[in-house]
Amino acid sequence: MGERSVQKKQLILEKAKEVFVEKGFRNVTMKDIVDACEISRGGLYLYFSSTEEIFREVLLTKEEEDHVLAESVGENATVSEIFALFLKEQKKEILRSKKTLAAAAYEYAFANPKDTTLKKQFNTGVAMLEKLIRMGIENEEFYDVDARIAAKNIMYVLEGLKIASLTMGVSGETVDNELYMLMQGLVIEEE
Amino acid sequence: MGERSVQKKQLILEKAKEVFVEKGFRNVTMKDIVDACEISRGGLYLYFSSTEEIFREVLLTKEEEDHVLAESVGENATVSEIFALFLKEQKKEILRSKKTLAAAAYEYAFANPKDTTLKKQFNTGVAMLEKLIRMGIENEEFYDVDARIAAKNIMYVLEGLKIASLTMGVSGETVDNELYMLMQGLVIEEE
Amino acid sequence: MGERSVQKKQLILEKAKEVFVEKGFRNVTMKDIVDACEISRGGLYLYFSSTEEIFREVLLTKEEEDHVLAESVGENATVSEIFALFLKEQKKEILRSKKTLAAAAYEYAFANPKDTTLKKQFNTGVAMLEKLIRMGIENEEFYDVDARIAAKNIMYVLEGLKIASLTMGVSGETVDNELYMLMQGLVIEEE
Amino acid sequence: MGERSVQKKQLILEKAKEVFVEKGFRNVTMKDIVDACEISRGGLYLYFSSTEEIFREVLLTKEEEDHVLAESVGENATVSEIFALFLKEQKKEILRSKKTLAAAAYEYAFANPKDTTLKKQFNTGVAMLEKLIRMGIENEEFYDVDARIAAKNIMYVLEGLKIASLTMGVSGETVDNELYMLMQGLVIEEE
DNA sequence: CATGAATGAGAGTTCATTCAT
DNA sequence: GATGAATGAACTCTCATTCAT
């Protein structure tokens, strides 16, 4: 597969992502993707042989984006500020969840219980938060909690908000309340 | 619709529920349900005209079960005990989520953003918890928190655990940790 | 599957047979059969799920016809006469082989080495001939040969003529010569 | 077409032959041959424009091999010996028929009734045998039979054994019995 | 000459939905 | 009411064949 093909593959992944965002996972057919990419029926099969295969690659692309995000966080000042920034990003993500892969990813996970991509992404998040919390504790910015358990708790609340956003809608205010509680549980307030 | 028809409809809903538990929502065809019910293809159409319609009714049945649960709680003694019992029930529910309608319900919600059934069920839960928390505060068993916000927080954590259980699996211990944190945030420990 | 369905299945088998006669085995698609039967695409799948399955049933039908033939032979007079009649039937069969299932059956056998239908039909032929030859020997109409080996030899010559007829064509005279040799090898000529 | 091209064409024919041996005729696609030859899709079309065309040339190659065989026979001593050697070769050929082009050739012939390649090969065999038998008769090694008819009979038995070997399997013993009968019908046994 | 990406026709298969009985 | 055969639309997937490079 030459240079040109790599570009085409990339194009397919981009267009396919839009389709998955719009239609979820199960609902998407190879034809949908063919139409979105404006290529021939057979053409798509040169690159991928099922919607599942395409979705897996789209998910990996997402993962990369997340990594980039995680690293860009590293440049900021105090741990509390980084944490606040992280939560702010999460809020954005939660509120626009209907315009992301989130629903499709859940559907995919339901259909593929063996696949561990979501789990890995979750664990990556936990690990990052854990590290952050440890730093906060060391700096005496955070209460002396069990960093791992606290990290997991944050991730579960975020998951809860995400699925709630997808299935019943949540207001910005609601998210703020939840995130505020998370901060409160960790950050030592100055008097 | 006569007596007999009502019974038949009930039978269909029961069998259909098993199918939805096993296969989710999108994956289920009218044929699957026809096969499970051992009725004729045409026969099913006398009662329901799509899997969506069937699923909606199945979901309502579930709602009733939940109500029953909520009321049975009422017989217990202290608020803390009731709360502990509630969490214990939730733990069970979370750990067996793969054997419940949960995944199908989420899939259904993704496909039907307008439908408010899940939202109503969530809100019912919030209301019940809010009432409980208010009672706890009055009894001085619970800290004096914002009951509504606390109730919502609990529900979001539970949602997070449920979707995590469905998509990546969670251990009993993990659930315990989370539920313990929820208790800790509310119940005033005696010294 | 009710009365009506059995008739339809029969109709499909008849029409399918014509298609197999005309096009062989591998070349035949479900669509070909659908067109020949003037039923819907999906309709055919109610009865059969592949051309192979259809062909197998068509072959069995043929087998029955052969059995009928074998028995009808039993009514005639001397063994030599029966034998002559048998060869005459075979000649007809060989010369019209292009209008029978023969080619399709060979193709099918190539594609399904495990299937023993052809072998069984061959063995049935051998058994019948062997019995006939034994009777001929007892009656002193036939030379005292090894009945089993002689029977097999006849069947192999007939197979050779059949495949030759299909792949290169044979004249009636050629068949006559071969069949005459077969008779000569068995029947004791009166002086 | 230059020297190099001829080599390439030869390579294609060799590899294609392996494919035809393995898969028969109808089952083989241009893609199969492209894959086997490790050339480009377009490249194959520079030399051949269909599997049929390729198969025709492969068949001619086979014909040459047979000729070589026929001539190599010429070096041996008595006619009976040559005849025995010929039958021995045929036995080998029959028993390994599943590893030869035989099935593909029959399939090809079914699909191309106009093609006379198989007929020519058959007639070449008949002619060779006829010549041999005439020599045997002259030498008084063979009975005084009609050489042409005897030659044809031998060829038909061999065809019968070949197709039987392909479609239902034959044992070495069975082949021996048949070939022994052929010898017996010709060779005058010394007392 | 040679490549291999791309096309589009066409086969296989499944299902929601209808309708005569 | 109930049945289940029948339909046809929609999808999946494969290949022969072409063509820009």
pLDDT digits (tens, 9 = 90+) for D143-179: 999 999 999 999 999 999 999 999 999 999 999 999 9
Strand partners, A142: A187
Counting as contact any 3 or more CB pairs under 8 A, the partners of C are D
D48-60 b/e with 16+ CB inside 10 Å = b? beebeebbebbbe
Return the pLDDT at A61: 86
- Do D109 and D183 sit in the same domain of this protein? yes
**B104 and B141 share one domain:** yes
Q: Which two tokens stand for residue C22?
A: 């005309």
Nearest protein residue to the C1' atom of E19, measured from CA: B42
Measured CA distances, B89 to B84, B92, B94, B105, C49 (Å):
9, 5, 9, 19, 48
Terminal CA-CA length for chain A: 63
Q: Give how far the C-alpha of residue D36 lies from the chain's centroid of Cα atoms, to the nearest Å.
A: 24
pLDDT band at D36 (very low <50, low <70, confident <90, very high): very high
Distance CA B83, CA A48 (A): 51
Whole-structure pTM value? 0.90
Contact of C130 with chain D, judged by CB distance below 8 Å, is answered with: no
Look at residue A62 and tell me if it is in a domain. Answer: no
Shared domain for A106 and A188, answered yes or no, is yes
pLDDT tens digits for range C80-136: 999 999 999 999 999 999 999 999 999 999 999 999 999 999 999 999 999 999 999
Mean pLDDT over the full length of chain A: 91
Question: Would you say residue A20 has pLDDT above 80?
Answer: yes
pLDDT digits (tens, 9 = 90+) for D97-135: 999 999 999 999 999 999 999 999 999 999 999 999 999
* Interface residues, strand F, Cβ cutoff 7 Å: A 29-31, 41-42, 45, 49-51; B 1-2, 4-5, 8, 39-43, 45-46; C 1-2, 4-5, 8, 39-43, 46-47; D 29-31, 41-42, 45, 49-51
Residue A68 has pLDDT above 60, yes or no: no
B95 and B133 part of one domain = yes
Nearest to B66, CA basis, from B101, B31, B33: B101
A28 touches A20 (CB < 8 A): yes
Q: What gap in Å lies between CA D130 and CA D86, rounded to an integer? A: 13
- Statement to judge: residues C48 and C82 lie in one domain: no
B164 and B77 housed in the same domain: yes
Task: Assign residue D115 a region (left: φ > 0; alpha: ψ between -120 and 50; beta: otherwise).
Answer: beta
A116 touches chain B (CB under 8 A): yes
Q: Are D167 and C109 within 8 A, CB to CB?
A: yes
Name every residue whose Cβ is closer than 8 Å to that of residue C65 and which is 6 or more positions away in sequence: none
Output the furthest CA–CA distance in chain B (Å, rounded): 67
pLDDT in tens, D68-90: 555 555 565 789 999 999 999 99
B180 CB neighbour count, 10 Å cutoff: 12
Whether A25 is covered by a domain: the verdict is yes
Residue B61 belongs to some domain of the structure: no
Q: Could you tell me the pLDDT band of residue B173, with boundaries at 50, 70 and 90?
A: very high
How far B10 CA sits from the closest chain A CA (Å)?
A: 27
- The answer to whether the Cβ–Cβ distance between B27 and A26 falls below 8 Å is yes
Please report whether residue C64 resides in a domain: no
Clarify whether residues A13 and A96 are in a common domain. no
Residue C142, SS3 per DSSP: strand
Q: What is the pLDDT of residue C179?
A: 96
Q: Does residue B45 share a domain with residue B82?
A: no
Say how far A39 CA is from E7 C1', in Å: 9
The mean per-residue pLDDT over the stretch D4-29 comes to 92
Residues C77 and C160 in one domain: yes
B102-111 vs B3-23: helix crossing angle, rounded to 10:
90
Main-chain phi, psi angles of D187, to 5 degrees: -80, 130
Please write the tens of the pLDDT for every residue from B175-190.
999 999 999 999 998 6
CA distance D119 to D109: 10
Measured distance CA(A116)–CA(A103) in Å, rounded: 16
**C122 with D168: Cβ contact below 8 A:** yes
The overall longest dimension of chain C from CA atoms, in Å, is: 67
Q: Between the CA of C36 and the C1' of F5, what is the distance in angstroms?
A: 19
Query: Which run of H or of E encompasses D163?
Result: helix D147-167
Contacts 24+ apart (CB under 8 A), D31-34: none
Task: Please list, in sequence order, all residues whose beta carbon lies within 8 angstroms of the beta carbon of residue C32, skipping any fewer than 6 positions away.
Answer: C19, C23
D38 pLDDT higher than 70 = yes
Q: Give the 3-state secondary structure of residue D142.
A: strand
pLDDT of D185 above 80: yes
Q: What is the pLDDT of residue A71?
A: 61
Confidence (pLDDT) at C30: 97
> Which residue ranges have CB below 7 A from strand E?
A 1-2, 4-5, 8, 39-43, 46-47; B 29-31, 41-42, 45, 49-51; C 29-31, 41-42, 45, 49-51; D 1-2, 4-5, 8, 39-43, 45-46
Phi, psi at residue A39, to the nearest 5°?
-120, 180
Query: Is A46 among the domain residues?
Result: yes
| Pair B25, B111 in one domain | no
Q: Residue C100, Cα to own-chain centre: how many angstroms?
A: 9
CATH number at D6 reads 1.10.10.60
* Residue D191 confidence class, pLDDT cut points 50, 70, 90: low
Q: Which of B64, B48, B35 is nearest to B9 (CA)?
A: B48
CATH number at residue D88: 1.10.357.10
Rounded to 10 degrees, the C-alpha dihedral A80/A85/A86/A90 comes to 140
Q: How far is A116 from chain B (nearest CA, A)?
A: 7
The rounded Cα C30 to chain-centroid distance in angstroms is 24
Report how far apart, in Å, the C-alpha atoms of C122 and of each of C65, C83, C153 are. Answer: 14, 17, 12
Q: What is the pLDDT of residue C61?
A: 86
The domain of B152 spans: 73-191
Q: Is D187 on the interface with C (CB under 8 A)?
A: no
Q: Does residue D63 sit within a domain? A: no
The string over B69-84, giving b where at least 16 C-beta atoms fall within 10 Å of a residue's C-beta and e elsewhere, is ebeeeeeeeebbebbe
Is there a single domain that holds both residue A107 and residue A42? no
Phi, psi for residue B146 in degrees, rounded to 5: -75, 105
Q: What is the pLDDT of residue A189?
A: 81
Low-confidence ranges of chain C (pLDDT < 70): 1-4, 63-76, 190-191
**CB-based contact B101:B65 (threshold 8 Å):** no
Tell me the pLDDT band of B37, cut-offs 50, 70 and 90: very high
Measuring from the CA of residue C29 to each C1' atom, give the nucleotide at the shortest distance: E11
Number of residues assigned to chain C: 191
Question: Regarding predicted confidence, which is higher, C63 or D37?
Answer: D37
User: Are D94 and D22 contained in the same domain?
Assistant: no
C109 contacts in chain D (CB < 8 Å): 166-168
Which residue reads 């109709």 in tokens?
Answer: C11
Look at chain B and report how many structural domains it folds into. Answer: 2
pLDDT score for B65: 67
8 A C-beta contact, residue C51 and residue C34 = no
- Residue B42 (CA) to nucleotide E16 (C1'), in angstroms, measures 11
Q: Is the pLDDT of residue A76 over 60?
A: no
Question: Which residues does C86 contact at the CB level (< 8 Å), separation at least 6?
Answer: C73, C129, C132
Question: What burial letters (b/e) apply to C32-42, b meaning 16+ CB within 10 Å?
Answer: bbbebbebeee
Whole-angstrom Cα distance, residue B109 to residue B103? Answer: 10
pLDDT at position D76, please? 56
- ∠ CA D56-D57-D62 to the nearest 5 degrees? 100
Bases of chain F with protein Cβ within 7 A: 1-20
A28, A156, A183, A184, best to mutate vs chain B, most B CBs in 10 Å: A156
DSSP structure string for chain B = --HHHHHHHHHHHHHHHHHHHHH-STT--HHHHHHHHT--HHHHHHH-SSHHHHHHHHHHHHHHHHHHHHHHHTT-SSHHHHHHHHHHHHHHHHHTGGGSSHHHHHHHHHH-TT--HHHHHHHHHHHHHHHHHHHHHHTTSB----HHHHHHHHHHHHHHHHHHHHHT---HHHHHHHHHHHHHTTBPPP-
Q: Any chain C CB within 8 A of the CB of D21?
A: no
Q: Does some domain include residue B97?
A: yes
Asked if residue A174 belongs to a domain, the reply is yes
